[in-house]
Structure 1
């Protein structure tokens, strides 16, 4: 349905002007009007069109308004290179009311809320309360105030042009018909189109009528449509047409969920390959699988479900059945250790890593300062979070959750407290969030930091003068309520620099806040402190993966294997231990036996992070996190010969330590070596029988 809007309001037109493009003065274009027929400007009834031209002649009181002559009481004068016009005459021509303030001794021209004020003997003009240079002093002539013509042009937004002995001011007071369409995405037959009114009438006028072309509440067919609007003010002057082109899209069609497997019946432990065949007329943004195990280890029928969602939120799902026979192809250990790829999550017996011998290692530390600011982890408002004075290389590990009602902003401020200039370099910087889940923020930030480690170092250096402060973290988003943000930042300064982590409200000034905000308090649960030895290499003097397997223990609280950093809370001076060694970069170069699987098993709870393995970042895990001791992340598989592998990692904030890095021999897939296959089948049958009995009981 087409929509035509019309508003009419009775009003008395008031002569007024504000801003107009310049129209070239042209003496030959003026119509001849007998000057003797004109009287003073106060008595004129000049028809203004919204595109108005005022033409002056030097040393003359004759003024043409859109070609119609009128006069002022005082002729145009030139004093010391500045052209002056009578204030009262020009103001009334432009539709302003003139008044005099006896207290300020200012002559004031007003039009609605717009005010222009001059004062005799002063070379300034006050426009809407703001004083600017007028380009010459106002003075009186025969009792009339004379003002610089250019100052008036600037104050009213007029264009001024000089041609020979003539001067022209041009002014545009046409109303503007601007508007925008509120709906960003319009669907044919579905979306109701609404308009945001951005029209304006200048100089105190009001809009009394509008007309539309091409505007409909809904559009039946897809395509491009042009909407045009014009408005009229209470002088009766219409605006230029204003157009907006919109695109109307065809209605969304829900996606079609579908998948296939390479067959429908499998043996126990046989790999299953799922092929996602889902389709959509737009884009599928989410694929959620249920029951799509890479293999099954008990006979039976299994239901696999795939749900997909498109970019408009439409959802579709499909379920299919997979049958697993009693015949055994591979055991669980054979399957996962031979077929998993780096980043996969695999099931493990929670007690398995405990049965593996722990391998001793030496720790070689590098003198890099590590600052961990995880306390208070939950932010309640603006405060100074942490501050310490540090020289050399420093790494900040910042992990914060906002539990306040308003967004909060983090600032890391570097201050040069010395008497000499110095420099601060940002070597690496990453952040993740704000997100809902703390483990997601920590995992993503750790992965991004490891990716930075693989890139060439490109420091960004700033110079700080004595006493100067600078914000080091720019373009970091505010933390919205109930969200978490994780940051890793590495900096270097040859001399001591005071680093201050400041929390303000969104878009607050962190440097100014240093003088006013209180110091936050330790939450009593998390780590806040400065530690030395923030980089460490682990040296193992043996080939890993012998016999049933071995493990390296990392970040254990008892410190039987890994050693936890000790440091100090610079706020309180209290000595403390960096439990979990958060913020420490580990570097391990290890010799591994042939046919060995390298796995990571969390022992303190869930863990979501990443590792660098032979210069490739491996997420833990690719599609999730490790939720507990019964899961492990598959990291690497050695080939037919002994290998040397390099592993680097940084503890992911929001996760739990310690970790067991396991080196497990890979069982053979040869049928002759698969002595456990038949027993696995029997075990599976016995488990099925036991489950049946339990369900009956």
Structure 2
């Protein structure tokens, strides 16, 4: 998403970062030098399909494609880089001799819009909020749309769309993310349009293990342990996902781990603990899923009182919430489209 970062700079010049997203209890130097809280990070789950290159699509074509069966997630993130209206759709093609059933059980979509950070934040918020499942039937030797609503959306020049779709397929289906003329037939285009070459960032591919589990090695005691951090998507403590670009057969690196969903179980001793997001790579706009005392709560916007944080500083904090440390707390995170990584989850006393 490097190309979008240059465009984003112009879009957020007027965005003011309120004092409420800065650390009121921690000095900037403390935030920069927070010790890492010991955790294990393990990869699990189905297959991740990442479609983000060419990020700025220059022409009609297939942006990414691969065949999957079982549990999968598609994360697509594309800008109409032409001078005319287009649409971005996802076609499911069944090359087998029997009908395939695809169950979409969670999804979030946002756009088209010129405000790229808002698109990424809205898509993630809608994904974390959850959705009613629906079924797509893909006939033998035929095709269907993963989301029929996308076929109706007009993506004007320079506008971004971002989608996150979790689904299961009982038989192999070829998933094709495509950009095409507004009035064209998606099924015909799926069989005639070429695969567009990747851009220089090569941020597309198929990756085993679409989820990561983050578990602490010991309970956090907010009164005694002091502030600490858990770093995500930095390619050091938390490596980038490694996969293959199915359109070329070449290795692919998911720098930023876009489309990966992290589930973090936070356990501790008695006392009140505060949790924050601290973006370390620059502009950031996302959301955090919260399940506290076994009850799922609405996603928390990060930041909550403005669109974006992290402009020109690595010490911005956005609070997720304050929770009793000895109660069950699950946090769900995924790198938002158009935002910069890595990030840290900051643990601190809630007093």
Shorter-chain TM-score: which interval?
0.7 to 0.9
- The residue number in structure 1 matching 2:3 is none
Query: Does the aligned pair in 2 maintain the 1:346–1:634 contact within 8 Å?
Result: no
2:229 to 531, 538, 551: 551
- Offset at 1:666? 4.3
TM-score normalised by length of structure 1? 0.44
Contact 2:290 2:329 in 1 (8 A): yes
- 2:134 corresponds in structure 1 to 460
Are 1:634 and 2:319 an aligned pair? yes
Cα distance between partner residues in 1 of 2:17 and 2:197: 47
Equivalent residue, structure 1, for 2:11: none
Residue number in structure 2 paired with 1:528: 204
Is 1:381 the equivalent of 2:59?
A: yes
Task: Indicate yes or no: 2:194 matched with 1:510.
Answer: no
Helix, strand or coil at the partner of 2:120: helix
**Distance change in 2, residues 1:361/1:512 (3 Å):** same
Q: Report what 2:344 is aligned to.
A: 660
Does the CA contact (< 8 Å) of 2:17 and 2:308 recur in 1?
A: no
Figure out how many residues of one structure are paired with residues of the other and give that number: 323
SS at match of 2:137: strand
- Give the deviation of 1:382 after TM superposition: 0.8
Please say if residues 592 and 645 of structure 1, whose CA atoms lie closer than 8 Å, have aligned partners that are also in contact: no
The residue aligned with 1:366 is: 44
Question: For structure 2, which runs of at least 5 residues remain unmatched after alignment?
Answer: 1-13
Secondary structure of the equivalent of 1:514? helix
Q: 2:166 aligns with which of 490, 502, 513?
A: 490
1:348-389 C-alpha deviation (Å, 9 max, x unpaired): 644323322112322333231111111111022211111101
How far apart, CA to CA, are the structure 1 residues paired with 2:18 and 2:141?
61
Inter-partner Cα distance in structure 2 for 1:631 and 1:463: 46
Counterpart for residue 211 of structure 1: none
> Could you tell me whether the CA contact under 8 Å between 1:364 and 1:538 is conserved in 2?
yes
* Structure 2 residue 78 is matched with structure 1 residue 400: yes
- Give the direction of change, closer, same or farther, for the CA distance of 1:357–1:511 in structure 2 (3 Å limit): same
The structure, 1 or 2, with the larger RCO (C-alpha pairs under 8 Å, 6+ apart) is: 2
Decide whether the 8 Å contact of 2:57 with 2:80 is kept in 1: yes
CA contact (8 A) 1:409 1:508 kept: no
Which SS does the other structure have where 1:439 is aligned?
A: helix
The 2-side partners of 1:499 and 1:524 are apart by 23
Instruction: Please provide the CA RMSD for this pair.
Output: 2.2
Determine the structure 2 residue equivalent to 1:413.
91
Indicate yes or no: 2:279 matched with 1:602: yes
Is it true that 1:619 corresponds to 2:301 in the alignment? Answer: yes
Is the contact made by 1:366 and 1:536 (CA closer than 8 Å) also made in structure 2? Answer: yes
Q: Distance in 1 between matches of 2:123 and 2:337?
A: 8
Q: Is the 8 A contact 2:107 2:126 kept in 1?
A: no
Give the Cα–Cα distance (whole angstroms) in 2 for the partners of residues 292 and 577 of structure 1.
35
Structure 1 residue aligned with 2:114: 436
- 2:93–2:142 contact (8 Å) kept in structure 1: yes
Counterpart Cα distance in 1 of 2:123 and 2:31: 28
Which range moves more in the overlay, 629-638 or 589-598? 589-598
CA distance in structure 2 between the aligned counterparts of 1:290 and 1:492, rounded to whole angstroms: 42
**Alignment deviations for residues 452-490 of structure 1 (CA, whole Å, 9 cap, x no partner):** 1xx5xx432233332111122212212111211111112
Residues 1:565 and 2:250 are matched in the alignment: no
Q: Name stretches of at least 5 consecutive residues in structure 1 with no aligned partner.
A: 1-287, 294-343, 668-697
Separation of aligned partners in 2, 1:427 and 1:436? 28
Q: 1:632 to 1:508 in 2, by over 3 A?
A: same
Structure 1 residues 549 and 571: CA distance shift in structure 2, 3 A: same
CA contact (8 A) 1:381 1:505 kept: no
Give me the TM-score of the superposition, normalised by structure 2. 0.85
Give the distance between the partners of 1:511 and 1:292, measured in 2 at CA: 48
Determine helix, strand or coil for the equivalent of 2:192: coil
Residues 423 and 542 of structure 1, relative CA distance in 2, 3 Å threshold: same
How far apart, in 2, do the equivalents of 1:485 and 1:650 lie? 17
SS in 2 for 1:619: strand
Deviation track 1:299-330 (CA, whole Å, cap 9, x = no partner) reads xxxxxxxxxxxxxxxxxxxxxxxxxxxxxxxx
Q: Rg: which structure is higher?
A: 1
Aligned counterpart in structure 2 of residue 390 of structure 1, from 68, 91, 102: 68
- Whether the 8 Å contact between 1:503 and 1:510 is mirrored in structure 2 is no
Partner-residue secondary structure (3-state), 1:643: coil
